[in-house]
Amino acid sequence: MNLETRFARFLSVVLHPLLIPTLGVIILFQLNTYLSYSLGPQAKRVILLIVFINSAIAPTLSILLLKRTGMIRDVLLDERSERMIPLMLSAVYFFITYYLLRRIALPSLLYFYLIGATILILLTLIITYRWKISIHMVSMGGLTGFLISLALLLQLNLDGLIIAAFFASGLLGTARVKLNAHNLSQVFAGYIMGIGVMLLLFLYLRS
């Protein structure tokens, strides 16, 4: 395995779709906005824990269980057909996250992010019935679109974060192609869908 392939695998793990939702919440909590001041440290930790368990831990355990029971052959889910059940379960976990947090009076931006992520999972599930769209790029597109939406909605200067998100997305897309996990059309389609859904939700919130 050469250095390029190792780096591509490293990026695919660090920017894994199961980690991006938690990263988005962390970024949201670190911004100098009313959200940072309206929630105490304990509340932030509880929210982060709920999001991390339902978006990362639960799906990972489900994938391992599916592998153990023989329902999937590979935990990397390289085959399109093997992605269906994990995507369905992820959609359920995100709905549970939304339901749990909805019972608490939280700023609407957090719900906006969770709804956007849930919609993206459902769209990815529908598309995956016929085509292997890049889940990595859907998640990075969602994060990028969320940052752009935050900048527009709250009138924040997030140029540095947005540029970093575009740069990281470019590296990740290249990595997925390098690993032969996807072709360019699957990478671009995933990224555009991720950004598009978040921006459409932003327009809805603003209307």
**Chain segment 50-60, per-residue pLDDT in tens:** 999 999 999 99
Up-side HSE of residue 8: CA atoms within 13 Å toward CB? 15
pTM: 0.93
Is 204 strand, coil or helix?
helix
Q: Is 167 left (phi over 0), alpha (psi -120 to 50) or beta?
A: alpha
Residue 32 in this model has a pLDDT that exceeds 90: no
19 vs 103, which has greater pLDDT?
Answer: 19
Q: Where are the alpha helices (DSSP H) in the chain?
A: 3-14, 20-30, 34-38, 41-52, 58-68, 84-102, 108-128, 135-154, 159-178, 184-206
Judged by average pLDDT, the poorest of 36-40, 51-55, 174-178 is: 36-40
CB 87 within 8 A of CB 128: yes
**Chain segment 122-172, per-residue pLDDT in tens:** 999 999 999 999 999 999 999 999 999 999 988 899 999 999 999 999 999
Is 103 strand, coil or helix?
coil
For residue 3, what pLDDT is reported?
A: 87
Residues 6+ apart with CB under 8 A from 178: 4, 5, 8
For residue 56, what pLDDT is reported?
A: 96
CB 30 within 8 A of CB 44: no
Residues 6+ apart with CB under 8 A from 206: 152, 153
Give dist(CA 180, CA 174) in Å, integer: 10
For residue 1, what pLDDT is reported?
A: 67
Instruction: Give the mean pLDDT of 16-38.
Output: 88
Widest pairwise Cα distance in the chain: 51
**Chain segment 61-117, per-residue pLDDT in tens:** 999 999 999 888 887 787 888 899 999 999 999 989 988 888 887 778 888 899 999
| Domain edges within the chain | 3-206
Take residue 168 and report the two structure tokens written for it: 């990281």
Instruction: Give the mean pLDDT of 1-13.
Output: 89
CB 135 within 8 A of CB 152: no
